[in-house]
């Protein structure tokens, strides 16, 4: 037996404090978690959506990249697929273009028209865009393709909400 | 464009650019093939939705043509649709269906019939579903562009 004798009263005190402490912590922890939750979320990329494209894999040739996000439309919340054409321009800057034709909203493709190499081509009404997204005058579209703001995080490209640009 | 108010507004401003109508043909029955017919309607609905997304500016996706399987009046009803559509703005009409019985009537319709066997999407994983439908859509898209180039 040790020299330090614990009395019955002391023993009960210790155990009660211990158990009570655990119970209080169990109740408080989730509350604290809820309170600081916005701070924890702040580390996320915000409104930026992750794409499966690695920064290292971006080339000078536009690549079609699909990404998914949830969209809320009054009653429905649905998983939507977005697409971006991502490439590096001559200065090495990463460009992400929206594939939605500015004419009537079809989906444009890169380099599919044999007569117009290295341009974005809209199959609906034969609209054309240069590689940087500028609309080719004389074809139906009146504005350049929208641009996604981009961000790099953990080696992957994140895209924000597509923004329109001024017409050519 | 779809049969919703916002798209119709856009259509009215740019009607001369929209020359192709797409009608999904969806059978309904309450017999033994009930589930099969539902699956066809589901598949065709998804497929045409994806086509519309790609060609939003030139295609008008009409609400599905729903008919009772085996009903003899449905061919006549569809022909009436066709007459109305071709009478107005549309130059091309495409029907998309999984119901093989339409193939016997292909000659009686002036629109193009795109028949595809339906796939049991309900048993598939999300990813698999998307890639399979994408594949099918891609093949259909070229049929549309070919038709447009023939003009």
Q: Which CATH number fits domain A49-159: 1.10.3720.10, 2.102.10.10, 2.60.40.10, 2.70.70.10?
A: 2.102.10.10
Domains of chain B and any CATH numbers:
19-143 (3.40.50)
- The full set of domain ranges for chain A reads 1-43, 49-159
What's the pLDDT score for residue A40?
A: 66
What's the pLDDT score for residue A45?
A: 46
Dist CA A45 CA A151 (whole Å): 8
What's the pLDDT score for residue A1?
A: 55
pLDDT band at B52 (very low <50, low <70, confident <90, very high): very high
pLDDT band at A46 (very low <50, low <70, confident <90, very high): low
- Share the mean pLDDT of chain A: 86
Q: What is the mean pLDDT of the segment spanning B6-35?
A: 92
Token code pair at residue A28: 């408080």
Question: Which residues, 6 or more positions from A107, have their beta carbon under 8 angstroms from its beta carbon?
Answer: A83, A99, A100, A101, A122, B53, B54, B55, B56
Q: What is the mean pLDDT of the segment spanning A24-48?
A: 78
Residues of A in contact with B141 (CB under 8 A): 123
Does B104 have pLDDT greater than 80? yes
Residues of B in contact with A106 (CB under 8 A): 54-58
Subunit contact A106:B14, Cβ cutoff 8 A: no
Subunit contact B57:A123, Cβ cutoff 8 A: no
Subunit contact B57:A81, Cβ cutoff 8 A: no
On whether ipTM exceeds 0.90, the answer is no
Task: State the smallest CA–CA distance between residue A153 and chain B in angstroms.
Answer: 24
Q: What is the mean pLDDT of the segment spanning A109-123?
A: 88
What DSSP element (H or E) covers B21? strand B20-28
- Please tell me if residue B137 touches chain A, with a CB cutoff of 8 Å: no
What's the pLDDT score for residue B77?
A: 92
Share of chain A above pLDDT 70, in %: 93
What's the pLDDT score for residue A42?
A: 54
Q: What is the mean pLDDT of the segment spanning A34-48?
A: 69
Subunit contact B56:A103, Cβ cutoff 8 A: no
Dist CA A115 CA B69 (whole Å): 47
3-state secondary structure chain A: CCCCCCCHHHHHHHHHHHHHHHHHHHHHHHHHHHHHHHHHHCCCCCCCEEEEEEHHHCCCCCEEEEEEEEEEECCEEEEEEEEEEEEECCCCCEEEECCECCCCCCECEECCCCCCCCCEEECCCCEEECCCCCECCCCCCCCCCCEECEEEECCEEEECCCECCCCC
Q: What is the mean pLDDT of the segment spanning A96-118?
A: 89
Subunit contact B57:A105, Cβ cutoff 8 A: yes
Subunit contact A81:B10, Cβ cutoff 8 A: no
Candidates A66, A70, A104, A115: best to mutate against B (most CBs of B within 10 A) is A104
- Share the mean pLDDT of chain B: 90
Does A168 have pLDDT greater than 80? no
Does A65 have pLDDT greater than 50? yes
- Please tell me if residue B14 touches chain A, with a CB cutoff of 8 Å: yes
Convert the pLDDT of each residue in B55-90 to its tens digit.
999 999 999 999 998 888 899 999 999 998 898 779
| Residue A74 falls in which region: left (phi positive, over 0), alpha (psi -120 to 50) or beta | left
Does A14 have pLDDT greater than 90? yes
């Amino acid at each position: 037996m040790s020299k330090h004798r614990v009395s019955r009263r002391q023993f009960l005190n210790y155990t009660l404090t211990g158990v009570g402490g655990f119970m209080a912590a169990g109740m408080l922890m989730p509350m604290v978690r809820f309170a600081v939750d916005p701070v924890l979320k702040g580390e996320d990329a915000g409104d930026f959506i992750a794409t499966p494209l690695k920064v290292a894999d971006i080339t000078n040739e536009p690549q079609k990249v699909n990404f998914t996000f949830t969209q809320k439309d009054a009653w429905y919340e649905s998983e939507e697929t977005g697409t971006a054409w991502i490439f590096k321009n001559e200065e090495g800057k990463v460009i992400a273009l929206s594939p939605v034709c500015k004419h009537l909203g079809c989906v444009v493709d890169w380099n599919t028209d044999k007569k117009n190499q290295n341009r974005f081509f809209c199959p609906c009404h034969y609209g054309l865009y240069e590689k940087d997204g500028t609309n080719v005058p004389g074809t139906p579209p009146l504005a350049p393709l929208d641009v996604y703001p981009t961000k790099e995080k953990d080696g992957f490209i994140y895209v924000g909400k597509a923004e329109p640009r001024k017409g050519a | 464009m779809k049969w919703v108010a916002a798209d119709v507004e856009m259509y009215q401003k740019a009607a001369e650019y929209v020359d192709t109508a797409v009608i999904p043909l969806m059978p309904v029955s309450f017999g033994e093939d009930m589930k099969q017919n539902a699956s066809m309607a589901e598949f065709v609905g998804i497929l045409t939705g994806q086509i519309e997304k790609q060609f939003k500016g030139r295609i008008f996706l009409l609400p599905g043509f729903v008919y009772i399987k085996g009903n003899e009046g449905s061919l006549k009803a569809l022909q009436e649709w066709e007459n109305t559509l071709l009478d107005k703005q549309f130059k091309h009409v495409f029907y998309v269906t999984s119901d093989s019985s339409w193939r016997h009537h292909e000659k009686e319709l002036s629109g193009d019939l795109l028949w595809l066997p339906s796939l049991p999407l309900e048993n598939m994983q999300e990813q698999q579903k998307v890639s399979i439908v994408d594949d099918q859509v891609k093949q259909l898209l070229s049929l549309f562009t070919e038709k447009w180039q023939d003009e």
